[in-house]
Homo-oligomer: A and B are copies of this chain.
Amino acid sequence: MPSYKLTYFNFTGRAEPIRILLHYGGIPFEDVRVEKADWPAVKPSTPFGQVPVLEVDGKKYTQGTPLARYVANVVGLVGKSNEENLEIEIAINIVSDILKAAYESHFDPDEEKKKQHLKTLHELLAKYFPVLDEAAKKNGGHLGTNKLNWGDIYFVTAYEDIRNILGNKDIVENYSGLQNLKKNVISEKNIKEYIQNRPKIPIFVYDLRSEL
């Protein structure tokens, strides 16, 4: 088995789907969490001045979603067919757009733009959560296939971050399919154990572990 080292901040964000996928697969990896104060020293050693970085036998790769897809292939959480993968990827594309609006609403230093991103976030949630909920209902609490896949994990980590960004607003409270999906992910043995034991995120007002 190759050696894996994942570098990110002590935050969920772009790294959490990758961490969860590795834990799901029981794959040992070095989970490096850089403190903000140390980032300027670490930054030049990353491919494009960015994290997450996954090192596979010392070779460095970056970009969150490609890395999650890569690890999903390693641990067998992709679809069984090209069609299943298409369904999963469409869901991930949607969640990724929503998540981007959420991060922008949180991190944009300009108050006016922040508001605009927040408006976009609410529009996207209103447009797409019913669609994702329908997909989850059709597939027994999964996105794209009827068994656990990396789209489910991607959704749940996005859910946690967006819920935090929105001050603990439970964005799936009206969606039974997505609630079921969330349960399917966090009740998986290895994932549950990881979430119970992962380092706390200081800025979190909501933590998935409260649901275990």
Q: What is the interface of chain A, defined by CB distance below 8 A to chain B?
A: 48, 56, 61-63, 65-67, 69-70, 73-74, 82-83, 85-87, 89-90, 92-94, 127-128, 131
Contacts and interface: CB of A to CB of B under 8 A. Distances in A.
A82 B73 contact: yes
B62 A89 contact: no
8 contacts: A56-B83, A66-B93, A67-B86, A69-B85, A69-B86, A70-B83, A73-B82, A74-B82
A92 B192 CA distance: 33
Contacts of A56: 83
Contact of A69 (B63, B67, B83, B89): B89
B93 A48 contact: no
Given A48-B128, A131-B48, A86 B66 contact: yes
B70 A82 contact: yes
A90 B63 contact: yes
Given A65-B93, A66-B93, A70-B85, 6 more contacts: A63-B93, A63-B94, A66-B89, A66-B90, A66-B92, A69-B89
List the 10 closest pairs (A to B, CB-CB), nearest first: A66-B89, A70-B86, A63-B93, A73-B82, A63-B90, A66-B90, A66-B93, A66-B86, A70-B82, A61-B86
Nearest to A78: B82
- Tally of this chain's copies: 2
Contacts of A93: 63, 65-66
Contacts of A85: 69-70, 73
A112 B102 CA distance: 22
A61 B82 contact: no
Contacts of A87: 61
- Most chain B CB atoms below 10 A, which of A67, A86, A127: A86
Contacts of A131: 48
A90 B61 contact: yes
A137 to B, nearest CB: 17
A128 B61 CA distance: 15
